[in-house]
Amino acid sequence: MRYMFDTDTVSFFMMDNPKNIRLKTSGHEKDEFCISAITYAELMFGLTRNYSKQLDFWLHEVVKKFSVIDFNDSAAVIYGNIRAALEKSGKLLDNMDMLIAASALSAKAILVTHNIRHFSKIKGLIAEDWS
């Protein structure tokens, strides 16, 4: 099974208890865990806005440990479907969250997030909270 970490989960591990991510991922292969290029972009923005050596270190540790999955044409199609469906239902999410969800669906990954209720609006997305 493949797991894709949402921005909030990576931030939680980096800021509050980076050792937890090691515990949760120990004994697994590197290719079982990933982040989307969208999450990476959000993390880079956060690092640039609030630079610290500690954040810089942990962000680079995350990138070493997890694959960064490009946002590709399959994810773009899925994003279009997600956004249209959510607009029709009147339950729109933030664009970045819809892009991350599309990335997870395209990669056939379970999204690890603290926002289970938030992401439950997206049909077909499997999400878990590891906090």
pLDDT digits (tens, 9 = 90+) for 32-84: 899 999 999 999 999 999 998 988 888 888 888 788 999 999 999 999 999 99
In CATH, the number for domain 3-128 is: 3.40.50.1010
Position 21 scores a pLDDT of 63
Whether 15 shows a pLDDT value over 70: the answer reads no
Q: Are 8 and 129 in contact (CB under 8 A)?
A: no
Position 9 scores a pLDDT of 86
CA angle 125, 129, 131 (to 5 degrees): 160
Note the helical H segments in 50-124.
Answer: 53-65, 73-89, 95-106, 116-119
Query: Mean pLDDT score of the chain, rounded to an integer?
Result: 89
Q: Hunting for tokens 């997870």 — which residue is that?
A: 104
Whether 18 shows a pLDDT value over 60: the answer reads no
Closest CA to 24 of 117, 112, 115, 87: 112
Calculate mean pLDDT across residues 4-19: 78
Whether 114 shows a pLDDT value over 70: the answer reads yes
Position 19 scores a pLDDT of 61
pLDDT grade, residue 17 (50/70/90)?
Answer: low
- 35 alpha carbon, distance to own chain's centre: 5
Calculate mean pLDDT across residues 98-123: 96
Give the single-character DSSP code of 131.
Answer: -
pTM, 2 dp: 0.89
- The Cα diameter of the chain in Å comes to 44
